[in-house]
Chain A
Amino acid sequence: MSTTPPTPPSGKGRPRGSGGFAWRAFFHRSETPVFVLGKSRRLRYANPAWEKLTNLKLAETLGMVCSQRRHSTPLALALAPTPEALAGRPDRARRPAPPGRNGPPWWDVTFAPLAGDAAGPRDVLLTGPAKAELFGIVGFITVVGEPVPAASRKIPPSMAALRDRQATHFGPELLAGESLASRRLVAQVRFAASVAAPVWIVGEPGSGKETVARVIHHTSALRDRAFVGIDCAGLQPYLIESLLFGHGGLGVSDRIGTVYLKEPGAVPRDLQQRLADHFTEQTGTRLVCGSDHMAGDAVAAGVLVPAFQAALSVFELRVPPLRERLDDIPRIATRLLSRSIDPAALAVLRAHTWPSNFRELSEVLYESAAASATGPVLREHLPHELRVKAGLVRTPSPKALSLDAILEAVEKHLIQLALKKANNNQTEAAELLGVFRSKLWRRLDALGIPVPPQPPKPRKDS
């Protein structure tokens, strides 16, 4: 689509110094549905093609805030710009067509951020890294997908709404972040979603391999069908066989879009071969596998049949561990908790190496949020072991375990106790302790216990 670069807009979507300007000059006759959001994500303009698509009049929706808040309408959710677009980079997102429909048609929304060049009065549709101030975003909608009758048959509307929510949640923006590793991951995921090849996802335990598989599924052309995740290590082989190849199994169903095998090396080799044969022949369903090892390494180690490496790991995608994308922790934390986090607490989180990756982070965050019922999550709410690691809590130095010193202390305490009971009478104290009086004297002297004055002896009445 060709667009003439407009003059720099004001904060309300109009160019500075041209009060009568409206976006209609550019897009009114376009057959592509186009809308313009201001920098506060309010709808400033939409063309007649957009009105026709949404069955709404612009006057009714002007000023609508398009964001991914919980209470946003389905239309606002569909038009909400992605974090990439808000950061000033052009982006595209596939959204369920409102109102809350499951499956096709979908809206492919291309977001073109608008920014003023600081050097001059020229307005640009950003194509490179954004350095200038963002004035607004122009969105272009393309309707994609043909209805698949099998997808919606026999599924009640409430289920369809939940699937829509799931699809919206598992968008590429779920993986987006500030770090280079995250950007690379998002780019790879988008590429994987655009092709139909089988994918092998490799990553450390807890790094979010299944989440990545879900994002690929919900971004791909198979999104209107189901995603089936199978835990090969957790389910016995007969349960997996029954699920896929049993009577009325999912393997031959046209409802399945993506099958995700978690650790396929955990199933016996005969079942591996059967799975490999099935998914090599089956073209309608895509196979995505997740593992801690590369397919080649697993084959070399003898835990995986070669067919998985040859035909079923065409595209290998590595999920970076959390320690390689520490810059994303604030974003992940805010998304998980929907609450603010104190910068000091974030510093503690960044100092940890996260050996169990995203899984560990989410557990820590939930525990911290539970510790603070309201308000922001503070450093004090984080688990003790993290604070110790960050050097915030001093661990008590280990006490010396000198046996002689401990025994002397115990002996001293017992002698003092005996003297107290015997009212400082040393003879009685020695009897209580079961030692001779001479020994008690020696110990009093050795332990430095002051010799107490002896009580007066009772007089003998003659």
Chain B
Amino acid sequence: MRAPQLVIVEIDGWIARLLSELSAENKWLVRASRSSDNAMSLVRDRRPSVLVVQVELADDKPAALTLISDAFRLCPDVPVVAVSDVKLNDADRVAWTAALFDLGARYAVFPPLTRPVLEDVVSGLMASATRRAGITAPVAKSAPDKPKPKPRSKRAAPAEDVIDLADDELYE
């Protein structure tokens, strides 16, 4: 099975740090890139992938926007998450969210940005991509050094006529 991969296109590595725990837990291949071309060649790999792109909301820096648009046109099955660290007012946030979705992003995350939200977005989309690729999630194995719990002797089921005090409390 080809391991799922998380491709992150960002400037300073903060998104990779936020998602490091999640990706290590799920054994995802994490690939960071600064170039759009490189990221495109990575997501074309035949394995379930999620592309996380840091978006700069400046008109003179359209590279991330172009990448989102290209990724959607050429690899529509790769979900793209647009992440920005720029805090916006409500009107601007709605405008940018709509525009990013229109370009092909599957979700857009703006500040206030928390790790659980980003993890939920990425893990959900990765699970969806993995399902689409026809791969079932591996069953988590218990650690080998962890001793198996001893089988407990089953407590005899109480007879019907035994009055359970806890039940009495419930019925009161």
Contact = CB atoms under 8 A, between A and B. Distances in A.
A229 B102 CA distance: 8
A248 to B, nearest CB: 4
Contacts of A211: 76
Contact of A229 (B96, B101, B128): B101
Interface in A194-245: 205-206, 210-211, 225-229, 231, 233-236, 239, 243
Contact of A154 (B92, B121, B129): B92
Nearest to A355: B134
A404 interface: no
A159 B65 contact: yes
A362 B58 CA distance: 33
Contacts of B125: 231, 234-235
A54 B103 CA distance: 28
B99 interface: yes
B99 A210 contact: no
Pick from A226, A243, A370 the residue with the most CB of B within 10 Å: A226
Contacts of B69: 162, 165-166
A366 interface: yes
A239 B107 contact: yes
Given A158-B59, A162-B62, A248 B107 contact: no
Given A166-B103, A210-B76, A239-B107, A234 B127 contact: yes
Contacts of A157: 59
A231 B79 contact: yes
A247 interface: yes
Contacts, number: 105
A250 interface: yes
B27 interface: no
A153 B132 CA distance: 37
Contact of B102 (A156, A163, A359): A163
A363 interface: yes
Interface in B95-143: 95-99, 101-104, 106-107, 117, 120-121, 124-125, 127-129, 131-132, 134
B93 to A, nearest CB: 6
Nearest to B128: A234
Contacts of B98: 225-226, 228, 250, 253, 255-256
Nearest to A364: B46
Interface band, chain B: 35 or more
A370 B40 CA distance: 13
A458 B116 CA distance: 86
B137 to A, nearest CB: 14
A229 B106 contact: yes
A154 B95 contact: yes
B73 interface: yes
Interface string B46-81: 100000000000110010011001001111110100
A127 interface: no
Given A162-B66, A253-B94, A226 B132 contact: no
A253 B96 CA distance: 12
Interface in B19-48: 44, 46
B73 A166 contact: yes
B95 A206 contact: no
Contacts of A133: none
A356 B133 CA distance: 9
B95 A255 contact: yes
A431 interface: no
A322 B120 CA distance: 33
A277 interface: no
A166 B102 contact: yes
B91 A154 contact: yes
Contacts of B94: 248-250, 253, 255
B106 A231 contact: yes
Contacts of A235: 106-107, 121, 124-125
A211 B65 CA distance: 19
Nearest to B46: A363
A169 interface: yes
Nearest to A363: B46
A247 B93 CA distance: 11
The 6 closest A-B pairs by CB, nearest first: A234-B128, A156-B59, A248-B90, A158-B62, A226-B102, A226-B98
Interface of A: 153-159, 162-163, 165-166, 169, 205-206, 210-211, 225-229, 231, 233-236, 239, 243, 247-250, 253, 255-256, 336, 356, 359, 362-363, 366-367, 370
Given A206-B132, A239-B120, A367-B46, 6 more contacts: A166-B73, A229-B101, A231-B125, A234-B127, A234-B129, A243-B107
24 contacts: A156-B59, A159-B59, A159-B65, A162-B65, A166-B72, A206-B132, A211-B76, A227-B102, A231-B125, A233-B128, A233-B131, A234-B128, A234-B129, A235-B121, A235-B125, A236-B124, A239-B107, A239-B124, A248-B91, A248-B93, A253-B94, A255-B95, A256-B98, A356-B134
